[in-house]
Structure 1
Amino acid sequence: MNEDTGPLDDIHRGGRDLGERLSAQMARLDAGGLTRLDHPLLTVAISAPETGGVILAGRLAPETHPWLTDHRVSDTVLLPGTAHVDLALRAGAEIGFPVLARLVHEVPLAVPAHGAVQLQVVVGERTGAGTRPVRIWSRPEGAADAVWMRHASGELTASDLAAADDLGEWPPPEATPLAVDGGHERLRAVGSRSGSGLRAAWRYRDDLYAEVELPDAAHGDPAAFGIHPALLDAVLQVGLLGAGAEAVAFPVAWNTVVLRAAGAIRLRVRLTYPAADRIGITAADHTGQPVLTVASLATRPASGRGPDAQIGESALFAVQWSPMTTIGPVVDPEVVHIYGPDDLELIEADCAPPAIVAGVEPAAAGTTPARGQENTVAARRLVEGWLARPDLVESRLVLVTRRAVSVGEHDHADLAVAPVWELVRAAQAANPDRIVLLDTDAAPDEDIAGPLLARAMASGETELAIRGAELLAPRPVPLSGGIRDAPGHPPARTPARHRTA
C-alpha cells in the first residue's frame, strides 16, 4: 500500500488501471475485426472474407450459466438442443439470414462439472440455392490440442418471412384442460431432469395449447437471448401431455424456424401434429402476438439408456428413406396437373384448385452442369410464377421431380436434377406447408395420380419419394461414428440429409 494514501485510494487506483487495460484490450479486438456480442453464450464475431460468412465464438460453464444444471440426462448436464436453435438464429441475424431453414442435431454437448467449453458457430459461403450452411462446434477450454466436435448442422436463409397466426383468443373456448404433472414424470422415467416451465395446458381437437414460463433459475438476462433455451425447452415439454410414457421423444431436426420477437419470458403455445413424428409450433406473447414459429420438428423416441449411449460416437444421425406406414384419413385430392411454368396461365383466377401437381421436365441434352442449370431455371420460374398468383395462395404446389434424390444404396440420383430440391427448399422455408417436393422413378410421360398421390397429400410431409408402388419419407436414424474436425474445414464424414449434389 502506498504510504501517502489510504487503502480505498489504492483500490480505486487499481480499479481504474484494470478498467484501462480491459478497454485497451477490447480496442485491440475491435481493430482486429472482431465484433463484441451481447449474447449470453457468445462473446465475439468475426467476418470470414473468403466465404462472406461469419464465425461467432463464446464460452460455456455451469458457474456462468447456472440454468444449465436444470437440464440433465442421467445426471449429466447437457446443453439443450434448443440452445443450438438460438445460437444458429443469432448467427443468421448477424449476416442478414434470419430464417433457420433446417437444423439437425448430431452429437449432444456435455457440460463438465468443472471447467468450461469453448463454442464456435460457423456460417459458410452462400450456396446456389440462396442459403448459407451453419455449423455448431465445441472443445474443452484450456486444451489447445483438443479436437473440435461438431454438434449440429443446418442451413440459414434470407427469405421473406411468411405471416404467422396469432393466439389472441386464449385459451380456445372449447378446449379441455389437461393436468401438467404427467409430462414431468415421463421425462424422469427416461433419465431426464429438465427444469419445468409448463404452467397450464389444454387440448382442442388434435392440437395442444399451453402456457409456459421461463424457470426462475434462468431469469438472469432473457432479453439477451433471441429465444431462451430453457423457455423453448419448456415448449417441447408440452408435447408430453396426453402421450404414453413410451412416447417421450427428443428433438432431432428443426425445419423453418422463424424468430419474430426476442427476449420472451412467458409464452402461449400451440402444437400441431402434421405427422406421427413431426410437431408444428406456434408461440406467442401474452397478447397473442407471434414470437416464434417452427414449421416442423422431427423427433425420435427416448431410449432411456442415458447419455452414455447417446454422447459421442453413437449420437450421430443420418437420414434414411423409410416407407410411410401410418397416414391419416385418405381422400381423393382435387388437383390440376401442369407441365411447366407457362401452364400456370391456364389456371383461371376463380377456379383455383386445392393442389397443383407440377412436373419439372429434366433437360435431355448437354453436360450435367448445363442440364442442372436448365432444370433449376425451369423450377425457379415455376415456383416464382405460382407464388406471384395471389389467387393461388390457398393452393398447395406439389413439385414432381424424377430421381432428384437417392433413397437407398443402389438408388442413384440424377445430379442434373438434384439441385432443384436445394433450390425449392429455400422457397419451402419462406412458405411453410405450401410446397411439397415429390420425387419419383416413373417415366417422364407418366402422371402421378391415384392412391399414391392421395396418400402423399394426406401424409402432411413436405418431402416424399415414390419408388415403384411404395411411398417413402426421410427419417433420422442413428449412425455410428463421430465428427471431430476443426470448425471451418470440411469434415472427414458428414451425415448427409440426402445423398445428392
Structure 2
Amino acid sequence: MPSYPFQHQHYWLQPTTPAPTGDGRIDHPLLRDAMELPDDNGVVLTGQLATAAQPWLTEHVISGSPLLPAAAFVDLALRAGEHVGCPAVEDLTLETPLVVADGVRVSVTVGPDREGRRGVSIHSRADGEWVRHATGTLGVVPVAPREPWARQWPPHAEAVDLDAFYDNLADAGFAYGGAFQGLRAAWRDGDTLYAEVAVPSGDTRFALHPALLDAAIQTVTVADDRAKMPFAFAGISWWRGTEHARVRLTVTGQDTCAIALADQSGAPVAEIASLTLRRPAGATAQEVPYQVAWPALEAATTEPDIPVHHATSPVETLRVIQEFLTTDTPRMVVATRNAVPVRPGEDVDPRGAAVWGLVRSAATEHPGRFVLVDAGDGDEVRLAGDEPQLAIRAGAVHVPRLERARTEPLPSPLSPEGTVLVTGGTGTLGGTIARHLAV
C-alpha cells in the first residue's frame, strides 16, 4: 500500500438542485430521483432494478436471458417526458439489450429544450461502464386520438386460436412468464389484427405498463409466425393508464406495424404510429448460408501493363504500398504464390495470406488502385479486365464469387431406438433438435 493518504475525488453529480417538479423524488417503479443538470443542460432521472419488488422483470426471457422488454424503455421515456413537460415520444430506437439483474442502475437523460423537443437516452450500469440502450426524441404535443374504433367490441373479424401461442413462442426462444402472457384473445381482418390484453396486477405508477404494451406487440406474431423483437418506435402518444386494453394492430410492411390501445370503454390509451421489428440474434439459423467460391473465368486475359510487386512478406509489401500511394501511377499489381485456397485441399502460404489481408484493407481506402493476383506453382501473373482479385491455377483464371454453401448430409442416420443426449443450446437450437429427434 502507498504510504501517502488516498486523495478522494467524487465525479458523480450530487442532487443539490431540485427537479423541475416536486422535491426530486420520482413515484415510479423503476425510477427514484430526478436532478436538473447545470447550465440548463437537461434533467437526469435515476433508479435501480430490484426483482424482489418487481418480480415480473425476470419473466421476459429471450434466448435464455432475462431482458428488460422494449416496452419498459417506452415507459421510461414516457415517464421522463411527462416529468419535463414533453409527454409525447416522437421516436425511440433500441441499441443494446439490458440483461435484468438486481442492483443494475438505470439512468434516463433528457436534454435541453430545443423548440419544444428534447433528446432522451437511457443507460444502465452494473459493475463496469455505463451502457447506452436507447435514444430518441421527446415532443410536447401528442397526436390527437383517432376515431373511436374500440367502441364496438368484439370486432367483426375472424377469431384466432391462441391455445398454443405461448408454447410456440417458447419454442422460438421467447420464454415468457405469467406476467408477459397477457394476450387473451385475437381476431384477424386482413392486415388488421385486434386483440384483448391484460396484466395480472397492474402498477398504476407506470405510464404504460411494460407487460401490457409487450402483450399488445405480441399480436404481430399472429400475423407473422416468425417471432420478432421491437427495434424502433415512432410517434408514441399516451393519454391514460389501464390494466386491460383493446388493441388494433395494422401491418404496414414486412417488419413494420402501427398499434393503437384503448380501455374497456373504448377510450384511447396510447398509439404507436410506427413500430419496426427485427428477428433476434440467432433466429436465422435455417436461412441459406453462403461461401466464397473460385469459379474459372472464360474472359480473355492479358499481360500486366502496370507495375507488379511480387510480394514476399507483409512488412515489405506495406513499405511498397506506402511508396506507391505517393505516386500518380493509377494502379499496381500485388502478386503472391498460393496465398488463397482456390481448390479443396490446397496448402496456403501464411505470409501470402497476410499480404492479401493487407492489400484488401488498402484497397478499401483507395478503391481501384490495387489488383491482387495469386499464382500457383509454374503459373504466370495475368489480368482479366477490371477484376480486382484473381487466382491463376494451371493457366486458368479464377475469380472470387459468393455462392450458396452446399450442406452435406449426416454420415449416417441416427438410430430411432437409441438414446440421444442434447447438451448446451437449450433454447431455440436445442429445442429444434429435440423436436426433430422426437418426430
Q: TM-score, normalised by structure 2?
A: 0.57
* Aligned mate of 2:154, from 171, 177, 197: 171
2:223 maps to 1:234: no
User: Can you list the C-alpha shifts for 1:206-234, whole angstroms capped at 9, x where unaligned?
Assistant: 200010110x3xx2x52110011011111
Deviation at 1:49, TM superposition (A): 3.6
| Aligned residue number for residue 188 of structure 1 | 170
Distance 1:179 1:303 in 2: 28
What root-mean-square deviation, in Å, do the aligned CA atoms of Structure 1 and Structure 2 show?
A: 2.3
Q: Aligned in 2, Cα 1:298/1:119: closer, same or farther, shift over 3 Å?
A: same
Selected match of 1:138 from 120, 124, 146: 124
Higher helix share: 1
Give the drift of 1:171. 1.8
1:161 to 124, 143, 162: 143
Q: Residues 351-430 of structure 1: matches in 2 within 5 Å?
A: none
Runs of 4+ aligned residues of structure 1 deviating over 3 Å after TM superposition are 28-34, 302-306
Q: Which residue of 1 aligns with 2:112?
A: 125
**Which residue does 1:82 correspond to in 2?**
71
3-state SS in 2 of match to 1:134? strand
The 1:61/1:267 distance shift into structure 2, 3 A limit, reads same
State the Cα distance separating 1:54 from its structure 2 match. 1.2
Alignment of 1:259-298 (within 5 A): 259-262=238-241, 264-298=242-276
Aligned to 1:206: 191
**Structure 1 residues 449-479: Cα deviation after superposition (integer angstroms, max 9, x where no partner):** xxxxxxxxxxxxxxxxxxxxxxxxxxxxxxx
Unaligned runs of 5+ in 1: 1-27, 307-408, 410-501
Q: Which whole-Å CA distance do the structure 2 matches of 1:101 and 1:233 have between them? A: 19
Name the structure, 1 or 2, with higher relative contact order (CA <8 Å, separation 6+): 1
CA–CA separation in structure 2 for the residues paired with 1:42 and 1:67:
16
Match in the other structure for 2:292: none
Q: Secondary structure at the match of 1:227?
A: coil
Give me the whole-angstrom Cα distance separating, in 1, the residues matched to 2:151 and 2:244: 14
Relative to structure 1, the CA distance from residue 88 to residue 232 in structure 2 (aligned partners, 3 Å threshold; closer, same or farther) is same
Q: Distance in 1 between matches of 2:282 and 2:243?
A: 30
**1:76 Cα offset (Å):** 1.4
Q: Deviations over 1:163-214 (max 9, x none)?
A: 32321011223x1110113432332122111231111111123200010110
The CA distance in 2 between the partners of 1:300 and 1:266, in whole Å, is 27
Residue in structure 2 matched with residue 257 of structure 1 by the alignment:
236
Separation in 2, partners of 1:32, 1:286: 39
Instruction: Say if 1:160 and 1:84 are closer, same or farther in 2 by CA, change over 3 A.
Output: closer
Distance 2:174 2:248 in 1: 23
Query: Conserved in 2, the CA contact under 8 Å of 1:213 and 1:266?
Result: yes
Aligned mates of 1:163, 1:213 — CA distance in 2: 21
* 5+ long unaligned stretches in structure 2: 1-13, 285-364, 366-439
Give the residue type in structure 2 aligned to 1:192: F
Aligned pair count reads 266
**Secondary structure, counterpart of 2:204 in structure 1:** helix
SS in 2 for 1:275: coil
Change in CA separation of 1:176 and 1:32 when aligned onto 2, cut-off 3 Å: closer
Q: Deviations over 1:77-131 (max 9, x none)?
A: 111111000000100011111110000000000012xx41001000012336x42
Partner Cα separation in structure 2 for residue 234 and residue 240 of structure 1: 10
Contact residue 165 and residue 290 of structure 1 kept, 8 A: no
User: Does 1:147 find its partner at 2:114?
Assistant: no
Given that 1:190 and 1:302 are in contact with CA atoms closer than 8 Å, whether structure 2 keeps it comes out as no
Give yes or no for contact 1:99–1:257 (8 Å, CA) kept in 2: yes
Quote the Cα distance in structure 2 between the aligned partners of 1:88 and 1:266. Answer: 21
Q: Normalization by structure 1: what TM-score?
A: 0.50
CA shift in 2, pair 1:55/1:79, >3 Å: same
Alignment correspondent of 1:455: none
C-alpha distance in structure 2 between counterparts of 1:302 and 1:150, whole Å: 19
Which amino acid in structure 1 is aligned with residue 194 of structure 2?
Y
Q: Distance between the aligned counterparts of 2:50 and 2:169, measured in 1?
A: 24
